[in-house]
Structure 1
């Protein structure tokens, strides 16, 4: 079964309504590594209910529609899909607890050709139910490795952000816990690849890997610390490309280039010197 371009582009998703609590915001923050030093008062604002704040990157788990590409009517070989890119735009600082509504749609599908796969671009807008205010816009690029040649548009994909041609201005090193994936999955992504060693080895990994969005959260934490002094109201947007998996327990080093309000960045695993997030661009105030 091949991708039906018209069906996907015109697909009307049901709205996703969900509620998250102070406890959920704390759990997300712990899942991406905050309060490794429990005496750090800046980080404690995100992991303790007194005067609590929510991490901006938590937007990625709000009103999550689930793995809809698994639905056979979309014609996608879901076993071969990879999360290629992720973007976050914050329109209003996230509350520590709220009821939210998510609206999802496909924005473009690019046919890379037979044997080369397809790119699926999707968007999720998250609204605060009580006010109707738009909290965040999430954009995602999915690489469907097994679905090229379906007859869709063969336009060129958007170019990723180019990192500056100079040494990074600064870097932030953050360890991850060996059980990080087991904590992060409680925020909503229960893919057994991140928990069950048998599933991980069958997929070609030596052990369960960290969620890509958890790695994004670690880099987002580094940006919040280094460029926003832990003030989430200054964090406006982020976009990056996933390039390699992280194993829980590894150390993530986020390198940054500062050009006014634009922060270019990438993240590496210290132990293996492998770039795991690349072509990153954030806007801060």
Structure 2
């Protein structure tokens, strides 16, 4: 069996040193569309965008944690854990959650410790939860959970887990993450995706050919390369921070989502936001495909 759940769960955690600097942060921000203001009349040197791109004003969007160290343990590294041997073309990123323990520094060196925290048998697929805890000399920085969906690898009679994909260790103050949001959104913004966005984003460390190679994308069942789910994840958090959190990245305490659909470079994201006590609910869709869902069950917790 390609996935040995017992072996994966019993495996010793893997630890490694990661490091990043201002250039890594700037590259990540550009990879999620910083300075590409959708208002054509606003220059890339808008002071609000320079917070993401100019080293003298730089702050770090918390979703940078998903790429810090240019290969910080995540989806692909999870596939090399003991008990896991699968075909990369069958793998999809099902969801992501992030807890921020302290604001991320512009430059840092830390230890990342990762393990398979859960394995679920969904019948026609398996779901792996890859948990990574990162700490520096001053203590914990963040905890990352990546939910890895592997098509065709279920059916061994294991724990089915939650009825939906495992979402997050975060808990919504307004109910469970799968509850629909009532009422009109407090804000709606649109973010165009560049045709080369995936090629730029992958320079931050996610080299999966699904996002660059047309032939590989076809083998995986897509008409052409798709945008990284974590790129959409970052674009969405930036939109929330910029519109509802006053541009203050340090207010973000947690961020979780389920990847509900794909995004193709060149499309436009429609991002709907609802304020709740201590959190913001978000739904993201692809404008050109009749608002096809892209991110669902999305929560940004904040101070």
Secondary structure of the 2:60 match is: coil
Measured after TM superposition, the shift of residue 68 of structure 1 is 3.1
The aligned runs of 1:29-108 (5 Å cut-off) are: 29-37=29-37, 38-63=44-69, 64-65=72-73, 67-71=76-80, 73-79=82-88, 80-108=90-118
Quote the residue 2:201 is aligned against.
Answer: 184
Match of 2:16 in 1: 16
CA distance in 2 between counterparts of 1:62 and 1:266 reads 26
What is aligned with 1:145? Answer: 151
Following TM superposition, the consecutive aligned residue runs of length 4 or more in structure 1 with deviations greater than 6 angstroms are none
Distance 1:6 1:164, change over 3 A: same
Q: CA deviation at 1:223?
A: 0.8
Alignment check: 8 A CA contact 2:8 2:81 kept: no
Deviation at 1:198, TM superposition (A): 2.6
1:125 to 133, 155, 169: 133
Secondary structure of 1:82 counterpart? strand
Mapped contact 1:16–1:65 kept (Cα < 8 A): no
What is the DSSP-based 3-state SS (H/G/I as helix, E as strand, rest coil) of the residue aligned with 1:189?
coil
Q: Could you list the per-position Cα deviations for residues 76-103 of structure 1 after superposition, in whole angstroms to 9, with x for gaps in the alignment?
A: 4333222111001111101111112211
Q: Distance in 1 between matches of 2:86 and 2:80?
A: 10
Contact kept in structure 2, 1:76 and 1:144, CA below 8 Å: no
Task: Out of 143-152 and 6-15, give the one that drifted further.
Answer: 143-152
Task: Determine if contact 1:77/1:146 at 8 Å carries over to the other structure.
Answer: no
Taking structure 2 as the reference length, the TM-score comes to 0.87
Using a 3 Å threshold, how does the CA distance of structure 1 residues 145 and 197 change in structure 2: closer, same or farther?
closer
**Aligned-partner Cα distance in 2 for 1:12–1:146:** 26
The RMSD of aligned alpha carbons is: 1.9
Task: Between 24-33 and 268-277, report the one with greater CA deviation.
Answer: 268-277
CA–CA distance in structure 1, aligned partners of residues 276 and 177 of structure 2? 17
8 Å CA contact retained: 1:62, 1:100: no
**Residue 276 of structure 1: which of 270, 294, 297 is its match?**
294
Whole-Å separation in 1 of the counterparts to 2:284 and 2:221:
23
TM-score, normalised with respect to structure 1: 0.92
Structure 2 residues not aligned, in runs of 5+? 38-43, 167-175
In the TM superposition, residue 155 of structure 1 has moved relative to its aligned partner by 4.1
1:205-216 matched pairs, under 5 angstroms: 205-216=222-233
Q: Aligned equivalents of 1:241 and 1:162: distance in 2?
A: 13
Equivalences for residues 260-275 of structure 1 within 5 A: 260-272=277-289, 273-275=291-293
Corresponding residue of 2:244: 227
